[in-house]
Chains A and B, each alone.
Chain A
Amino acid sequence: MKQLVRLFAGVFIIAIGLMYFTSYLNSSNGYSGGDTLTIYNWGDYIDPDVLAEFEEETGLKVIYQTFDSNEAMMTKIEQGGTTFDVSIPSEYAISKMKDEDLLLPIDHSLIPNLGNIDPRFMNLSFDPDNKYSIPYFWGTVGIIYNSELLGGKTFSSWNDLWSDDLRNQIMLVDGAREVMGFGLNSLNYSLNDTNEDHLQEAKRKLSNLTPNIKAIVGDEIKLLLAGEEAAVGIVWSGDASEIMGENDKLDYVIPEEGSNLWFDNMVIPKTARNLEGAHKFINFMLDPEIAARNAEYVGYSTPNAEALKLLPEEISQDERFYPDPEMTDKLEVYQNLGKRMLSHYNELFLEFKMHRK
C-alpha cells in the first residue's frame, strides 16, 4: 500500500513539474498570447529560415505545429479548442472543409503577391476563384524506379508496370484514388471517371497486376524504396523527391497517359484568431524570393511563376517535377466525387487488394 501511494505521488509530482516547466518555457519565449501566429502544417514542409525571417520582418511570434494526415488535421480543427491561424491541407480536404464551413474567406486585397502565382494553378474546381485557398505547392503521382535493380529498364507508360519481368517488384501507396486512378489512366480513361463499366474494367486490369505487386503500404513506402526493398513504386512526386534525395539510383517519371495533379493550399481555418497576421503570412510566402528559397528547401514544385524564374535551372528545367505544358494538360485534379462514389472507389480498391496471386 505504502509503495502504491509513493508511486502515485511520484507520478503526480513529475507531471506537475513538467507542466510548470512547459508553461515556464512558453512564457520565457513570449508564447503567452499577444502577437502570435499559429501555423498548422505538414512536418518538415517549410524552410525554418523563412519562418525566422517572417518573425523578424513582422514582429509576430510564430507557433509552428505539424500534422501527418489531412484527416487528423480536419478532426482537430473541427473539434475546436485550437487557435490555428493558417493551415495547409490538400485539395480534396479543402473542398471537404469548405462544405463543412471550417474555412474563412481570404481577402485578396491584402495579398498583393497573389499575382505571382501561375494562372494555371488558380481558379481550380476544388475552390473556384480561390475564395478560401492560395496555392502553396503542387505535384503529381508517378512511377519511381531503380533501373540498376532492373538491368537498365526505364518507364514511360503506366502499362509498363504490367510487364512480366517485374514479378514481385512493385510497391503501391495505400490510397484508393491513387491506385484506381492509375488503373483508369492506363486504359486512357479519366481518373475521375464514374462510368461503372470503366471502373470495373480498371479493377479487372489492376487484378492482373497482382503478381507484380510486392506490397501496398502507407508512409513506410519512402523508407522501403530508399532501402531498395522493391525496385518500383507508385508515389506522389513530393515523396519521390524525398526518396531520390536519400538514394540517387532512383528516378521518377510521370507516365505519358497522364496522371493526378495535386495541390497543397494555404487556408485560414475558422479557428483563426490573428486574421491580419494570417494574411501577412500568406502574402509573405508568395514573395518570389521567399517562395524560391522555400521550394529549394522542401523539394516540391512551386506554383509561383516569379519564384520559378529565380530557381536554378537544374530545378526549374527538371521535367519530372515541372512537366512541360503538353504533359500538364494531361494531368487531372481529383474531383470531389461525393461520398457514395468515393465509397464505391474504396470498395473496388478493397476487392483489388483481396485478389491473390
Chain B
Amino acid sequence: MTKTRNLYLIPYVAWMLLFVATPIVLIVYKSFFDVEGNLTLENFEKFLTPVYLKMTFNSFWYAFLITAFSLLVAYPTAYWLTRTKHKQLWLLLIIVPSWINLLLKTYAFIGLFGTYGFVNSMLEWVGIGTQQILFTDFSFVFVSVYIFIPFMILPIYNALEELNPSLIYAARDLGASPLKTFRRVVFPLTLGGVKAGCQAVFIPALSLFMITRLIAGNRVITLGTAIEQHFLVTQDWGMGSAIAVLLIIVMAIIMMMTGNRGARNSIR
C-alpha cells in the first residue's frame, strides 16, 4: 500500500526537483558571482544602494496600488455575481479575457489610450479634450488591474458561494442592518478568499515588466524591469539573480504572513 503511494509521488517529486528546486538553487548560486565570474557579495551590496532601494519601494508601491484597486472592483463584482441568474455565463465572460495572451491585450491598450485613440476621441466628443493617458501612472495601474482582476474575482466568488446563506438570514432576523451584516458576517467569513486573491495579484504584480515599458514607457521602473535588463542586455546574470533571490525571499515572507494566519482564522 505505502509502496504504490510512494510510486504516485515520483512525478510530483521529480517535477519539484527539476523545475522548482534546481532553478532556485542555480539562481542563488549565480547571485554570488560578478560579471567577470569572481565569487563576491558585491551584487547584494549594490542592491543596498539608493537606486535599487528606490526601485524596490516603487515595485511595492505599485503592486500595492494594483492589489488595492483590484480588490475594490473585484469584491462588489464577485458579490453581485453570486446574486445573478446566469452565474456560469457571467463567470465565463470574466474568465475569457485571461485566455488571451497578455502582450496582445497590452498592445490593444496602446491603441485605445493613444493620443488619437478611442478613449481620447470619446473625451474629445464629450468636450473634455485630449488628455495624455498612455505613459502615465494611471494607465499603468489601470492596465495591470485589468489584467489581474480575474485572479482576484475567482477566489472571492468561491468564498462567497461557500457562505451559508442562513447565517445572513440569522443576522437579519436578529436586527442587523444590511451594512452591519456585511461588515460583521459576510466580509469576515470571506476573508480567506480575499487573502488568496490578494496573494494571486500582489506577488506577480511585484515583478511585472513588459507593461512597464509598453504602457508606462519606462516611467515606472520596477525590480522586474531591472531583472530583465540584467539578463538580456547587460548579461550581468549575477546582479539579475541577486535581485531575483531577494524578491523570492520577500515573496516567501508575504506568503507566510498572509497564508498561515488565513488558515488559522478559517479554522476558528
**Contact present for B114 and A215 (CB under 8 Å):** no
Which of chain A's residues has its CB closest to B218's CB?
Answer: A216
Give which listed residue, B116, B214, B230, contacts A220 with CB less than 8 A.
B214
Q: Is the CB of B221 within 8 A of A353?
A: yes
Q: Is the CB of A339 within 8 A of B36?
A: yes
Contact code string B212-245 (vs A, CB < 8 Å = 1, else 0): 0110111101000010011011111001000000
Q: What is the interface size of chain A, counting residues whose CB is below 8 A from a CB of the partner? A: 27
A53 at the interface (CB under 8 A from B): no
Docked-complex contact A174 and B213, CB < 8 angstroms: yes
Contacting B217 at CB < 8 Å: which of A215, A228, A340, A342? A215
A178 to chain B, nearest CB (A): 12
A356 / chain B contacts, CB cutoff of 8 Å: 219
A216–B214 Cα distance when bound, in Å, is 9
* Contact flag A227-B116 (CB < 8 Å), given A214-B217, A216-B218, A346-B233: yes
Determine which of A168, A224, A342 lies in contact with B234 in the assembled complex, contact meaning CB atoms within 8 Å.
A342
Residues on B with beta carbons closer than 8 Å to the beta carbon of A218: 213
B35 engages A229 (CB within 8 Å): no
Are the C-beta atoms of A228 and B115 separated by less than 8 Å? yes
Contact in complex: B134, A229 (CB < 8 Å):
yes
Residues of B180-210 contacting chain A, CB below 8 A: none
Q: In the assembled complex, which residues on chain A have CB atoms less than 8 Å from the CB atom of B55?
A: 354
Residues of chain A with a CB closer than 8 A to B239's CB:
343
Query: Is the Cβ of B218 less than 8 Å from the Cβ of A353?
Result: yes
How distant is the Cα of A354 from the Cα of B223 in the complex, in angstroms? Answer: 11
Residue of B nearest to A357 (CB): B219
In the complex, which of the residues B51, B135, B214 has the most CB atoms of chain A within 10 Å of its own CB atom? B135
Q: Are A343 and B236 in contact (CB under 8 A)?
A: yes
Knowing A343-B35, A354-B54, the reply to whether A214 touches B221 (Cβ < 8 A) is: no
Q: Is A176 an interface residue (CB 8 A)?
A: yes
The answer to whether B51 touches A347 (Cβ under 8 A) is: yes
A313 at the B interface (CB under 8 A):
no
Question: B119-144 CB contact bits vs A (8 Å, 1 = yes)?
Answer: 00000000000001011000000000
Q: Is A71 an interface residue (CB 8 A)?
A: yes
> Shortest beta-carbon distance, A149 to chain B, in Å?
10
In the bound assembly, the distance between CA atoms of A71 and B234 in angstroms comes to: 11
| Nearest-Cβ distance from residue B62 to partner chain A, whole angstroms | 13
Residues of B within 8 A of A215 (CB): 134-135, 216-219
CB distance from B137 to the nearest CB of A (A): 10
A-contact bits for B233-263, CB 8 A (1 contact / 0 none): 1111001000000000000000000000000
Residues of B with C-beta under 8 A to A229? 114-116, 134
B residues less than 8 Å from A228 (CB atoms): 115-116
Residue-by-residue, is B149-184 near A (CB-CB < 8 Å gives 1, otherwise 0)?
000000000000000000000000000000000000
Let me know if B27 is at the binding interface, CB within 8 A: no
- Indicate if the CB atoms of B234 and A351 lie closer than 8 Å: no
A350 at the interface (CB under 8 A from B): yes
By a CB distance below 8 angstroms, the chain B residues around A346 are: 229-230, 233-234, 236
7 more A-B residue pairs beyond the given contacts A343-B239, A347-B51, A350-B229, with a C-beta to C-beta distance below 8 A: A217-B213, A229-B114, A339-B234, A342-B234, A343-B234, A346-B234, A353-B221
Taking Cβ atoms with an 8 Å cutoff, the residues of A that contact B are 71, 168, 171, 174, 176, 214-218, 220, 223-224, 227-229, 339-340, 342-343, 346-347, 350-351, 353-354, 356
Q: List 29 A-B contacts (CB under 8 A).
A: A71-B233, A168-B132, A171-B217, A176-B233, A214-B132, A214-B217, A215-B134, A215-B217, A216-B218, A217-B214, A217-B217, A224-B110, A224-B114, A227-B114, A227-B115, A227-B116, A228-B115, A228-B116, A229-B115, A339-B35, A339-B234, A340-B35, A343-B239, A346-B236, A347-B51, A350-B51, A350-B226, A350-B229, A354-B221
